Amino acid sequence: MTTIKLHNTKTRQREVFTPIDDKNVRMYVCGPTVYDRAHLGNARPVIVFDVLNRLLRHVYGNDHVTYVRNFTDVDDKINARAAESGRSIGQITAETTQWFLEDMAAVGALEPDHMPRATAYIPQMVSMIEGLIAKGHAYAAEGHVLFAVESYKKYGALSGRSIDDMIAGARVEVAPYKRNPMDFVLWKPSDADTPGWDSPWGRGRPGWHIECSAMAYELLGAHFDIHGGGNDLMFPHHENEIAQSCCAHPESEFANVWMHNEMLQVEGKKMSKSLGNFFTVRDLLDQGVPGEVIRFVMLSTHYRKPMDWTDKKRDEAEKTLREWNNPDRISIVSDTAASEFDRKHIDNDVMDCLAEDLNTPGAISVLHRLFKDGNMEQFVASARYLGLPAADFEYFRKSSIPAMTEPINVMVANTVNDLIGARAKAKSERNFSEADRIRDGLLGAGIRVTDRKDGTSGWELVADFDPAKLEALK
Ligand SMILES: [Zn+2]
């Protein structure tokens, strides 16, 4: 069996990964707060832990991994969005949850086994909070319930801070009902305009941190293998999750391995609305950047290093993927049952890279070598394993899109392919005048169709491509 090594934030070391139960390897990753489109940085942990999920499933078996990623659907940002838009909270969270799933599918992320919504676990959160109060780790005050950080000796161990440093370094909310400024909210009161649930402390809603502790406990138990998220969550969110879970279930240790991905920048700068370099995954997809290109760029940097998104990297990734999706090179596997084929042919060097703390840039180098050497079985299986599904690559597979100076818009590619499909249908019905009309119309729009010996057709852009003429052909 492949030995997996993972960097554990808790011990600050790369360790051999040993599951608690190799028949049920359990991983929890903090998911999005659903009030808006996922920005590009949100895609990074999704892709990183998707690779880990694939690796665990490959090593321990597809049925022996439980991967949980939550949706935070109760949050003051959601309430604010509802108030400013005049729409209901339910509409906003349902819509943005769906957007998130679509955008993450577009970047090749498999869905986790469980995607719990916080609002479906309120009774479990209430019960965990009651337990914390009973054990002396939390107290109710003025409709709030607070976690008493001084009651947990190891508070701060994950991020390596002392409580005094945290008070000095953090902008903590000093509220009169807090015994210690670092005490954090488990439950807070709701007014008539804010979502709320009945509780022993009055009508209110949970704090953010308790939801992950409660859902992880419900779905994975008190002690599980891996907890992941972006390193911006290490403090206070993960520190607070540990405090809650370890105090509620002192017999266990919560997560054995803590993994954190580094942040994403754009052209060397922090992505921010004020710098004008803020964009969502959907913005890129709508500009015609295929999801596979986004994924490829993300995988080109190791997850523990800051990831710099640049136009240059995007263009290079697109060029590489075009080359890799040359149908003449990969046609050998187009009809093979993918899962069986892949299991047999995944390259050992690719596996070794991933098993070494998810060395995805190393795995991509191996893919380059496999392609160059013409080891197509290993290449295709390994590319698919990384979520770069060579032989069934929607965008690139449709035709042999020639190398171009300008990346073609995916909408254009889809339109051309639809028209080529219509032309093939006309030909098969012996309607040659219609087939010729489509071919000539495409040429008039600047797209030359070439028929191959096997009956399929490719196409290329020639001079004076005219999108308006192409539209008129539809
Ligand atoms: Zn969380």
Extents of the domains making up the chain: 5-261, 265-397, 410-473
From the CA of 31, how far away is ligand 1's center (Å)? Answer: 7
Q: Residue 171's pLDDT is what?
A: 65
Q: Which of 279-293, 303-317, 439-453 has the lowest mean pLDDT?
A: 439-453
Q: Residue 397's pLDDT is what?
A: 39
From the CA of 233, how far away is ligand 1's center (Å)? Answer: 8
From the CA of 90, how far away is ligand 1's center (Å)? Answer: 21
From the CA of 210, how far away is ligand 1's center (Å)? Answer: 8
From the CA of 11, how far away is ligand 1's center (Å)? Answer: 20
pLDDT digits (tens, 9 = 90+) for 94-108: 999 999 999 999 999
From the CA of 124, how far away is ligand 1's center (Å)? Answer: 15
Q: Count of residues for the chain?
A: 474
From the CA of 75, how far away is ligand 1's center (Å)? Answer: 13
From the CA of 228, how far away is ligand 1's center (Å)? Answer: 9
From the CA of 465, how far away is ligand 1's center (Å)? Answer: 49
The residue with tokens 């049952």 is 337
From the CA of 212, how far away is ligand 1's center (Å)? Answer: 5
Q: Residue 173's pLDDT is what?
A: 67
Rounded Cα distance, 445 and 433, in Å: 18
The residue with tokens 């406990």 is 217
Given the DSSP bridges, would you call strands 223-230 and 204-206 parallel, antiparallel or unpaired? unpaired
Could you please state the CATH topology (level 3) that the domain comprising 5-261 is classified under.
Answer: Rossmann fold (3.40.50)
From the CA of 223, how far away is ligand 1's center (Å)? Answer: 15
Cβ pair 81, 92 in contact under 8 A: yes
From the CA of 466, how far away is ligand 1's center (Å)? Answer: 49
From the CA of 73, how far away is ligand 1's center (Å)? Answer: 12
Q: Across the chain, what does the average pLDDT equal?
A: 88
pLDDT digits (tens, 9 = 90+) for 353-364: 999 999 999 999
From the CA of 227, how far away is ligand 1's center (Å)? Answer: 9
From the CA of 116, how far away is ligand 1's center (Å)? Answer: 12
Name the CA dihedral angle for 419, 425, 426, 432, rounded to a multiple of 10 degrees.
Answer: 100
Determine the residue type at 254. F
The 3-state DSSP class for residue 359 equals coil
pLDDT digits (tens, 9 = 90+) for 397-425: 333 333 333 334 556 767 788 888 899 89
pLDDT at 437 over 60: yes
From the CA of 4, how far away is ligand 1's center (Å)? Answer: 24
From the CA of 216, how far away is ligand 1's center (Å)? Answer: 9
Task: Give mean pLDDT, residues 441-461.
Answer: 79
Given the DSSP bridges, would you call strands 223-230 and 25-29 parallel, antiparallel or unpaired? parallel
Cβ pair 18, 56 in contact under 8 A: no
From the CA of 84, how far away is ligand 1's center (Å)? Answer: 26
From the CA of 435, how far away is ligand 1's center (Å)? Answer: 56
**DSSP β-bridge partners for residue 207:** none
